[in-house]
Structure 1
Amino acid sequence: MTGWHTPDDLIARYTDGSLPETDSWSLEKHLESCTACAVRASHAARAGAAGAVLSEVRDAVLHAVRAPAAVPSQAHASAPTPAPAPAGRRARAVGGRLGRIVWAAGPALRGAWLGAVVLVALGALALAYAGGFAGARPLLLAVAPVVPVAGVALSYGRHADPLYEIVATSPTGGLRLVLMRTAAVLTVSVPLLTAAGLLLPSAGPRLPQAPATAAWLLPGLALTLAALALSGYLGCRTASLVVGGGWVLALAAPVLTATGPGLTARLTEQLSRYLTGAPPQGAWAAAAALCALLLAARRTAYDRLETM
């Protein structure tokens, strides 16, 4: 329940179909949480031109529901007991349920992004063990924080989801769906990349010590929340490009312009400045908290299709 209630003229325009589409979305969101306005909108719809049609639909539904009740109970008593579903059918039902869960988790888990995450993890291991590349660990730590950001870019929006308009206008759309799909992205990427980091060998004696395997987790969370917060202004894809590009630029520019040891050693030193120690990790934690607050303050922006 809110302190503001919809004016009568707005409800009348909504029920007769003359209210613009964007205003209708906003009004429907209000009706979900305001019982008084929902009741008034229902009464207005019944009193309008659609009332007769709604009444006919209601009568037809009630007739279809009540029709089986007219069958004598003896017929039900003589009916054979249905056999239990075969094991194969139950397995298919479980598989179908799992498929619906994967579908709801977002396009990122159904597209090329999932394969790219596996390729990054396996590629780092192949570089380290098959290729003898000593810089596989810092390279993985440099890429890992932006992998969830890329998943966010592919999880929500017209460019990613063929059912976007239907999903976004449903009661579970908006920020709730964005967070659910982001959680699915993190659930997949965090274990895979962390496991790959644990399996990588330590840096050679000629290279500086790389940050710990889990040092990228807090920066990855902060960058993901930053992409979500900016999505309320720029859209998922543009916001993810800005955040991911900012991380790459902040990491690559000092590495490419500095002089001294090799490229891998400079990358390791730069990663240590960003990821190792209490001050950098504290700064990432503060950034994550700030982005979460901004995301909560801008939560209504995710209900409008134009912004995503």
Structure 2
Amino acid sequence: MSARYADGSLPESATWSLERHLEACTPCATTVSRAVGATGVATAVLAEIRGSVLLAIAEAEAHEAAGAAHHPSPSPNRRLGRALWAAGPALRGPWVVALLLVCAAAAGLAYGAGFDGARPLLLAFAPVLPLAGVALSYGPHADPMYEISATTPSGGLRLLLTRTAAVLGVSLPLLTAVGAFLPGPPGIPGAAAWLLPALALVLGALALGSYVGCRTATGIVAAGWTFAVLLPVFSVSGDGGGDSGGDGRTLPVTALAEQLAQYLSGVSVQGGWAVAAALCAGVLALRRHSFDFSPGSGRGLRFDRLENP
């Protein structure tokens, strides 16, 4: 079949099937390339094509150089549009609105309703908000141009990390500032104590996403953090242990502050989160190719193997 393909005697339908197969089969592509080179028929044609391509590239570069000298740089609005596209759908969708509503609700509860548990609640749910932003930033469910952007040189893990950085760049300073502005009960961790755990959770979600997908992984990590924080609080409050509030029951705010202190306060705790973040980053680096979109990865076109007659 290789010889018939090289001399042009192979039927059109078989030629098309063979060329599709060669896109995914390196050994067969090498065999066909050697057969074509041995005939010598395609040498002159390939040389002419190569010369035409090089000439077109030189003309395009000269045209771009001439155009750059006469045209101004892109407008600020165009640059802003590119930055918003790189930031991802989460920063252009309801996630930012939800983030602002959470911050406004926390401030309203603290200073409008006099609720002293606004800051503990914000610290409890703050690590979940960046995870939601990451889930809404990447994947076919979030980006209608996912398949196109994922196949570009800047797609895959690079695009995912860019959008994750944009989500963290918006959520971390905003939530930390609001947390510092809110009053809290004694023993509550500092407003910035959740930053390193949040980074570890995001990296863990990305590493897990290389196996199960970004949206599923962020949901699993967010649910795990929420249950780990809230279940002990409700358990202690329901058993009536801890500080008494006159009726022998522990106040949920106090229990929540104590639980957050166990997860966020202390050098050893923060060191543990740093080690977890480093390990998750290492797994993500090892699994970086799992985010690539290519025909051979099972997420694109699949090619059937052909048998040579």
Shorter-chain TM-score range = 0.7 to 0.9
Q: What residue is the counterpart of 2:229 in the other structure?
A: 251
Q: Please tell me whether the aligned partners of residues 13 and 19 of structure 1 are also in contact (alpha carbons under 8 angstroms).
A: no
- SS for the counterpart of 1:166 is helix
Change (3 A) 1:143 1:174: same
User: What is the TM-score normalised by the length of structure 1?
Assistant: 0.72
The yes-or-no answer on 1:179 pairing with 2:179 is no
Instruction: Tell me the SS of whatever aligns to 2:140.
Output: coil
Task: Determine if the alignment matches structure 1 residue 276 to structure 2 residue 265.
Answer: yes
Alignment partner, residue 34 of structure 1: none
Of residues 208-217 and 159-168 in structure 1, the stretch that sits farther from structure 2 once superposed is 208-217
CA change 1:65–1:233 in 2 (3 A) is: closer
* Structure 1 vs Structure 2 CA RMSD: 3.7
In 2, Cα distance between equivalents of 1:244 and 1:268: 19
For 2:102, which of 103, 108, 120 is the aligned residue? Answer: 120
Name 2:201's counterpart in structure 1.
223
How many Å separate the matches in 1 of 2:285 and 2:111?
44
What's the CA shift string for 1:183-204, capped at 9, x where partnerless? Answer: 001000011101101111232x
Q: Which amino acid aligns with 1:226?
A: G
Q: 1:62 to 1:175 in 2, by over 3 A?
A: closer
Matches within 5 A, 1:15-34: 16-18=19-21, 23=24
Q: Secondary structure at the match of 1:171?
A: coil
Structure 2 distance, partners of 1:143, 1:152, is 15
Pair 162,123 (structure 1): closer, same or farther in 2 beyond 3 Å: same
- Matched residues in 1 for 2:21 and 2:219: separation? 38
Deviation at 1:100, TM superposition (A): 1.4
1:93 aligns with 2:75: yes
- For structure 1, the 5+ residue unaligned runs are 1-11, 28-36, 69-81
Contact 1:144 1:193 (8 Å CA) reproduced: yes
- What displacement does 1:138 show? 0.3
Preserved CA contact (<8 Å) 2:117 2:184: no
Secondary structure, in 3 states, of the residue corresponding to 1:162? coil
Letter matched to residue 211 of structure 2: Y
User: What is the CA–CA distance in structure 1 between the aligned matches of 2:267 and 2:54, rounded to whole Å?
Assistant: 68
Letter in 2 for 1:120: V
- Are 2:251 and 1:262 equivalent residues in the alignment? yes
Shift of 1:64: 8.6
Q: Distance in 2 between matches of 1:123 and 1:184?
A: 23
User: What's 2:247 paired with?
Assistant: none
The alignment covers a number of residue pairs equal to: 256
Q: Determine which of 115, 120, 124 is the counterpart of 1:138.
A: 120
Q: 1:299 aligns with which of 277, 288, 297?
A: 288
TM-fit CA distance, 1:18: 3.1
Answer yes or no: is 1:168 the counterpart of 2:150. Answer: yes
- Could you say what secondary structure the match of 1:193 adopts? helix
Whole-angstrom CA distance in 2 between matches of 1:65 and 1:284: 51
The structure 2 residue matched to 1:212, chosen from 187, 190, 205, is 190
Q: Distance in 1 between matches of 2:120 and 2:17?
A: 57
CA distance in 1: counterparts of 2:216 and 2:205, whole angstroms = 9
The correspondence of residues 8-157 of structure 1 with structure 2, limited to 5 A, is: 16-18=19-21, 23=24, 93-157=75-139
The answer for the alignment partner of 1:198 in structure 2 is: 180
Cα deviation per residue 1:95-129 (whole Å; 9 max; x = unaligned)? 12101111111111111111111111111111111
CA contact (8 A) 2:197 2:273 kept: yes
Q: CA deviation at 1:147?
A: 1.1
Distance 1:18 1:183 in 2: 39
Does the Cα contact within 8 Å between 2:106 and 2:122 map onto a contact in 1? Answer: yes
**Structure-2 change in CA distance of 1:221 and 1:56 (3 Å):** same
